[in-house]
């Protein structure tokens, strides 16, 4: 039983590492869901929210800093209503 739990734990851990592969950042496209982005490249390094001055959420901006397997690129993903509306990739020097 312990072996099965350990194997499941390792499988989940490894699945998360694969899902958050920084080299996948270049494949993020407009129209993807927030969940798809999180699945492919993981949680952002920084997040800002612009509610446009109202109580309703208008826009999220997720920033991914350079990382191994995407070491020279700053990636910014803009989301509205849970969907990607813009992706910016800039060379960070």
Q: Where are the domains of the chain?
A: 2-91
Would you state the structure tokens that stand for residue 8, as one six-digit string? Answer: 């499941």
Residue 13 pLDDT level (bands cut at 50, 70, 90): very low
Quick: pLDDT tens for 43-75.
999 999 998 776 677 899 999 999 998 899 999
CATH number of 2-91: 3.30.1450.10
Which helix (H) or strand (E) is 91 found in, with range? Answer: strand 83-91
Distance CA 40, CA 25 (A): 8
Burial (Cβ within 10 Å: 0-12, 13-18, ≥19) of residue 4? exposed
């Amino acid at each position: 039983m312990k072996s099965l739990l350990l194997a499941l734990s390792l499988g989940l851990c490894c699945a998360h590492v694969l899902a958050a592969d920084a080299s996948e950042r270049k494949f993020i496209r407009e129209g993807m869901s927030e969940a798809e982005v999180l699945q492919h490249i993981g949680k952002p390094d920084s997040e800002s929210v612009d509610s446009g001055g109202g109580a309703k959420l208008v826009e999220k901006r997720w920033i991914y800093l350079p990382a191994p397997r995407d070491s020279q690129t700053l990636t910014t993903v803009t989301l509205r209503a849970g969907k990607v509306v813009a992706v910016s990739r800039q060379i960070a020097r």
